[in-house]
């Protein structure tokens, strides 16, 4: 594989990863915000809640995630992109979070369609809204399981990683120096 092709594959992987992280983030933010706004209104409509949850999660989440990923990659050399892609592929916690959220999306979409069959529009509300809620459930399940099994996981490390941007090699080196 040529260097240009490897760079494109790694760049695509990193952008796909940041897009999925944006979707996961919005799946956690949208339901409580929408529930609070629905509480203020006198009439609650379930299919509108599910549709808005799906629009925020998949629409805004993917746009924000992909935008942030592309913005970060614009100032990183090909070696940095390759390094980031390799670390993402090797990070068991990230892969497990993605797996749990994917499974949650499938289970949420299918379950909401089965429960709400005939009550709300399936393709517009039930399936995407249930999938959005399922993604949040998958992320929360992974975090809870990690805490119960006392697995090495830190939300602070995730936030620090997001703040620092792509060249996380420097952050890891600084932490290694601090631990010495």
- pLDDT tens across 68-89, in order? 999 988 888 888 888 888 888 8
- Read out DSSP for 53-109? HHIIIIIIHHHHHHHHHHHHHTTS-HHHHHHHHHHHHH-HHHHHHHHHHHHHHHHHH
Tokens of 163: 């703040």
**What confidence score (pLDDT) does residue 177 get?**
65
Residue 56 clears pLDDT 70, i.e. is over it = yes
Global confidence as pTM: 0.77
Could you tell me the residue range of the domain that residue 111 belongs to?
3-179
Domain count, the chain: 1
**What confidence score (pLDDT) does residue 132 get?**
93
Q: What is the largest CA-CA distance in the chain?
A: 62
> In this structure, are residues 135 and 24 in contact, taking their beta carbons and an 8 Å threshold?
yes
Whole-angstrom Cα distance, residue 21 to residue 76?
19
Query: Which of the four pLDDT bands, split at 50, 70 and 90, describes residue 166?
Result: very low
**What confidence score (pLDDT) does residue 131 get?**
93
> In this structure, are residues 85 and 12 in contact, taking their beta carbons and an 8 Å threshold?
no
- Read out DSSP for 96-157? HHHHHHHHHHHHHHHHHHHHSTTTS-IIIIIHHHHHHHHHHHHHHHHHHHHHHTT-S--HHH
């Amino acid at each position: 594989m040529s260097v240009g092709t490897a760079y494109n594959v790694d760049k695509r992987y990193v952008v796909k990863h940041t897009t999925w992280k944006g979707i996961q983030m919005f799946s956690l933010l949208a339901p409580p915000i929408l529930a609070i706004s629905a509480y203020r209104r006198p009439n609650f409509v379930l299919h509108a809640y599910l549709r808005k949850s799906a629009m925020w999660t998949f629409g805004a989440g993917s746009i924000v995630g992909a935008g942030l990923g592309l913005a970060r990659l614009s100032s990183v050399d090909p070696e940095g992109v390759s390094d980031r892609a390799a670390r993402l592929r090797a990070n068991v916690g990230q892969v497990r979070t993605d797996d749990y959220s994917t499974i949650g999306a499938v289970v949420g979409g299918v379950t909401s369609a089965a429960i709400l069959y005939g009550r709300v529009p399936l393709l517009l509300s039930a399936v995407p809204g249930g999938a959005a809620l399922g993604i949040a459930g998958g992320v929360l399940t992974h975090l809870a399981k990690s805490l119960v099994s006392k697995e090495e996981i830190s939300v602070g490390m995730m936030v620090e990683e997001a703040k620092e941007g792509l060249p996380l090699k420097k952050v890891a080196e600084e932490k290694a120096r601090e631990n010495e």
